[in-house]
Amino acid sequence: MMGITETIGAYALPVIVLIILVVAYFRGVNVFDAFVDGVRQGLPSLLRLLPVMIGLVTAVTVFRAGGAAQWISDALTPLAKFLGLSPDLIPLAVIKPISGSASATLAADIMKRVGPDSMVGIQTAILLGCGDTVMYVISVYLGSAGIKKLRYAMIPIIVSSAVVLLML
């Protein structure tokens, strides 16, 4: 038997699409033409972001496969212990600003190992939920806006990531 959240989750998207189609019908909107026009308008943004996203994926892959993430994690372990953080959180703190999917995988591994109700599990959930993927923000949000001078944008992004770590 499906619970209420599973039922809502299963039917939410089809109901929303149906509502859009019904409203469009009564307003006389040609849905297919509107969809094609939206894709046509969004295509330049996609073409502008594609090289940035390819570069980001390549950089993250090289960073992880080359061992840089593990090296940084090993170097920061004494500092984490001094600050009272579990060394288990350091790889997550290093990867989170770079790759959201890699950090989610790493967080799942931490949760399996220490349990979600442990202090480290709770800190893992906080770290995963409170920070943003810095490279994603830079490439997608700032890239789509055409911002070239990142100095003033980087300061609050880095400070917010550091605050999340300090608040644990």
- Whether 34 is in a domain gets the answer no
Mean pLDDT for all residues in the chain: 82
Q: Tell me what pLDDT residue 40 has.
A: 92
Residues 168/134, Cβ–Cβ less than 8 Å: no
pLDDT value of position 59: 75
What single letter denotes the amino acid at residue 37? D
Q: Is residue 26 part of a domain?
A: no
Structural domain includes residue 96: yes
What is the pLDDT, as a whole number, of residue 131? 65
Residue 37 lies in a domain: no
Q: How far apart are CA 97 and CA 100, in angstroms?
A: 7
**Assigned domain for 30 exists:** no
Region 129-151: mean pLDDT is: 73
Cβ within 8 Å of residue 55, ≥6 positions away: 139
CA-based nearest residue to 88, from 71, 60, 104, 111: 111
Is the residue at 15 inside a domain? Answer: no
Distance CA 92, CA 134 (A): 13
pLDDT bin (cut points 50, 70, 90) of residue 1 is: low
Q: Is residue 14 part of a domain?
A: no
Helix ranges restricted to H, the chain: 4-27, 31-65, 68-83, 89-95, 100-114, 119-130, 134-136, 143-145, 151-167
The top-scoring range by mean pLDDT among 65-69, 128-132, 146-150 is 65-69
| pLDDT single digits (tens) 62-116 | 877 888 777 887 888 888 888 778 888 888 887 787 777 778 888 888 899 899 8
Residue 82 identity (one-letter amino acid):
F
Residue 111, domain extent: 45-167
When mean pLDDT is compared across 30-39, 120-129, 145-154, the lowest value belongs to 145-154
Would residue 66 count as lying in a domain?
yes
Q: State pTM to two decimals.
A: 0.57
Alpha-carbon distance 142 to 49, whole Å? 10
The tally of domains found in the chain comes to: 1
